Amino acid sequence: MKDLREYIEEDSLEDKEIDEYIVSDLYHTSLVTSLRSMKGIEQDIELYNYNEKRNNWIKDVIPKAQDIPVISFDQLKQRIDNDKKSCDGLFYYGLMEENKKSILFEYKNVDKKTLVDKYMGKDDKSILGKVKESIDIIKNNVIFSGGYTGDKLVDNIHLVIIYAENDVTSDARIDTIKKNKVEKDVNGKQKRAASNIKFNKISSKKSLNDKINEFGETIHKYGLTSTDEDYFGISNLDPEVKKLKGQGKTRPFSMMSKMEWKRVIEDRSFFENWDWGEYKTYFTKKK
């Protein structure tokens, strides 16, 4: 089993596309289509432009993402076992401070409802598989020096999922449902269809919340750490915080739209001066 430093140094000697290195950033880890694949479709202008637009879903909103270094967990996995699944990236906190978490994150360029319905179940497409195999890599295939490593590191990792945008009917944080304009009868009363619309929206919200909570319960069983409500400095993130035995109100993982991610990065400067510990020289801010 090698130290992360060995993987990084071996990786740095290779001549390849910028998104194929372990030392990466918050923009290149968000790409939907790899730069190598983009080169292969340069002759098809329409297809190229379509994929370029999709690739810029984070950069267009958060230009600063290009300047924030991170471990590309996908590329680390490539050097260990290409057959494994993995999350997109990892912020490794290089000191042993229990109040500071390492952050494992996954990008999905989809709306919230699609994220929950398609990627937060228990089938082959689920993010759960990526999380589980990322944990296995951390425990059994790489040594992290300076801060926590192995099981202790897993105990100190918080999962963050970033998606493209909210949609009104599926936003699990809406407290009230806006009234729809509906026809009224001769007495000025709303017709029955109005209550049906409201019921369907409430049912959709409840179903979405249930799926998110079930996902969170599984993440908790995997051994990843929870955070308190204000850890990232912004309010009303999903899932809702819950009181666990022996703890205060905590969140087992965090879901954020790209606009909430922008607030964490730019407004809260959450990753500014991140302490990489012994790996600081590899993750200096890009110029």
pLDDT tens per residue, range 93-140: 999 987 899 999 999 999 999 999 999 998 888 999 999 999 999 999
Distance CA(173)–CA(255), nearest Å, equals 11
Each residue's pLDDT expressed in tens, for the chain with a length of 287 residues: 999 999 999 999 999 999 999 999 999 999 999 999 999 999 999 999 999 999 999 999 999 999 999 999 999 999 999 999 999 999 999 999 878 999 999 999 999 999 999 999 988 889 999 999 999 999 999 999 999 999 999 999 999 999 998 653 333 333 333 334 445 555 555 555 554 545 455 445 668 899 999 999 999 999 999 999 999 999 889 998 887 666 678 999 999 999 999 999 999 999 998 999 999 999 986 44
Cα pseudo-dihedral 227, 233, 236, 241, rounded to 10: 20
pLDDT at 99: 87
Closest CA to 205 of 112, 287, 130, 125: 112
Structure tokens at 123: 């089938």
Check: CB of residue 94 under 8 Å from CB of residue 147. yes
72: phi then psi, degrees, rounded to nearest 5: -75, 105
Q: How far is CA 64 from the centre of its chain?
A: 17
Check: CB of residue 109 under 8 Å from CB of residue 64. no
pLDDT at 124: 83
Distance CA(130)–CA(119), nearest Å, equals 11
Q: Is the dihedral of CA 249, 250, 256, 259 positive or negative?
A: positive
Structure tokens at 40: 């292969």
Token pair 């290089």 is at which residue?
94
pLDDT at 125: 85
Helix, strand, coil percentages (3-state) for the chain, rounded to 5, are 45, 15, 40
Helix (H, G, I), strand (E, B) or coil at 120: coil
For 279, residues 6+ apart whose C-beta sits below 8 A from its C-beta are 4, 5, 8, 92, 94, 145, 146
